[in-house]
Amino acid sequence: MIRVHSDSKHTKISFERDTVSANHSSTEEKCKDMNIDHLRSNGHSVHVERQPKRVDYPRLLALGRELLLAIGEDPEREGLRETPRRWADAWREFIEYDPGTTETTFSSVASDQLVCVSGMRVSSLCEHHLLPFWCDVSIGYIPNEKVLGLSKFARIAQQFAHRLQLQERLGQQIADEITRITGTQNVAVVLKGEHYCMTARGIRMPGRMTSSVLRGVFRTESQTRMEFLRLIE
């Protein structure tokens, strides 16, 4: 579900949880996309990580079995026989996630509007512990000539969440991508996340981590920054 709030100066769009599902295209289409990405990266900032990765599936299967053995389990016992396959499938689904088209833009009708998209929740994996974390993502931007299609914010957030991550880097990559596609430097991204490496191990304390990337007028103009922060409350 998408909620849109609009007055004369501001547009606020909220997603209810999980509006985007994986959209698997054929291998051929994927390779085509990868080529395009590669060509587009020439002469611009380098976005090598935009290309979808592939897993070594047989190796994952063997690793899943090995993991069970390493923790003292019997991979042949009832209940665990299919676990290496399920585990390998989960990794493949996570790593080979295809966000679909993320670059649909439209001509801007009013270039002074603050557009805010919030309520998007993504799941990712902490690269330090290989444990999950989830983040609520809020994105604000002030378009120049190009506005981004509505669903693209969620696709972009999902695209960068589907890899080994750090919350801080996830926010930066989302902001970079919005600038790359729309050309505007006025971008703000706020992430609020819960990390299992904190809640389920180590200190074992529930808590939220908030990180923000504020660029352009969101950095230099306190009024715009406050307006954005108010809209994502």
Q: Which one from 47, 103, 113, 129 is the annotated catalytic residue?
A: 129
Catalytic residue flag (residue 135): no
Q: Which residue's C-beta sits nearest to Zn ion? A: 197
CA distance 117 to 2: 10
* 177 included as an active-site residue: no
Q: Which of 162, 167, 173, 177 is catalytic?
A: 167
Nearer to Zn ion, 109 or 203 (CB): 203
Least distance (Å) between residue 56 CB and Zn ion: 24
CB 196 to Zn ion: min, Å? 8
Strand-pair category, 2-6 with 105-107: unpaired
Q: Is 126 a catalytic residue?
A: yes
List of residues contacting Zn ion (CB under 5 A): 126, 128-129, 197
Out of 128, 145, 168, 221, the active site residue is 128
> In angstroms, what is the minimal distance from the CB of 202 to Zn ion?
8
Catalytic residues: 126-129, 167, 195, 197
